[in-house]
Structure 1
């Protein structure tokens, strides 16, 4: 998409707004420095970002109390899950003065193809799908490729299994294939007393993040996992059977049985425009041992002779469906 050309007046207005924001930030930084030097804030203590609301954040202290804090202007962007150093004011609010190092960060591209951080310090990404709205293999592969690119362990969660036919149907067979590839697959339902036992086990003692299409029941699952939390549950549209967004900001929840869960805003498609062809190929875990073994060093795995991937598909060691999914993802990255 080409950028819209701005008029001189529009550029002037944008520059004026940016200058005003910078001036306000500078004044805020001066006030913060003066207050800190005057001893109006308490000592530095460790905390964890629980939710993010622009320049203000909810921070959880070591004693599990929540504090609404604002961020010093000189700090890099903070996200849910970040470990921070903050100082408390007399009214219980506070100011964040430093960010601790991150183990990892989950990012996703925004509509302008810029990477936007979503959450930090995560042990696993739980990719939630449901029997309804029906998922597609290519969409599952997109999530897995995106997850593999982060270096964070992914797992698949199939929700609403009460709607599956007894033999599991095509969806059951599809998820069995992912299990054979080595991915953990958790089956869940909120319609049975024991429907979340496997999910509880997967979540215990880990920091996890839920991602997935809208309407697959992420908020419903969290409502059952955290019965004391008041969550808005989105209903499926009876006409389109597509989900409606209910979560507006990433939030971290402490699980009663141990572990933490971050619920991120629902998205219908996990964009991969920030990845190149090599990263996409490496996102298919069964391809990794084959990459670099093609006859030609610059093989793009289309119809080149001696392509290790194509040979593996013909031998049956790589599924035709996964290879076709890989090709579809590459085509989606090509500018039209």
Structure 2
């Protein structure tokens, strides 16, 4: 009887161990599902963007940008950028530099009204809060650092609105030296563009900007790769094909912005310097001069 009791106890304890392990797995699964539910509620509770503002014909016509005492806030109403004021004339090329986390990307994303902000941002003397969101965003071109290609074809990625002829598409592709990579406009693009390198994805996105010719173009760390040929190609494209377009370049490598009309230095959410690169370089006390000096250029 004693042996039977011991055997029964062992059998029951093994069953209890299995039930305990199952309970732990279920608890962990519930926690994961609750995290997913929290994310859903987070998106549900985000205020809907208002897009019922004005739609102005042929806007922007020039590409002038004015930031007037702009402060940008995050979702916790903490200040990311503080009291930013500057003016970019139509067709100017402006390089934006600063340490990681200084607020460079936030500065340009404010143009898209992606953050809460105070102050006024004007494009061609029109406050962007008075512009229909869809119109605003489709008229500001951007090539992000992590360019995304959509599943489909080269044609659908370069010309998503099907506005251009095959000849125009090929002209943009060849201008960017993509012919060795792009063999056909119907060439398949795999999910997230995994069949192209990071630099190639940026150039494919840039070919779209070449076609649509937005009056304002933002290049976010677009020359951050170590390919010197890409850097040289970008300088040539900006000089020859975007000469009438206002271009803002967020720079990772300082040598890529020395040919810009002006340079903007952002530090801890503040605009600390904004002038021609030659002027800043000749001022030995300027942050830009010290940044260039530290890189050995």
TM-score by length of 1: 0.24
- Higher Rg of the two aligned structures: 2
Q: Which has the higher contact order (CA 8 A, sep 6+)?
A: 2
Q: TM-score, normalised by structure 2?
A: 0.26
- Greater helix content: 2
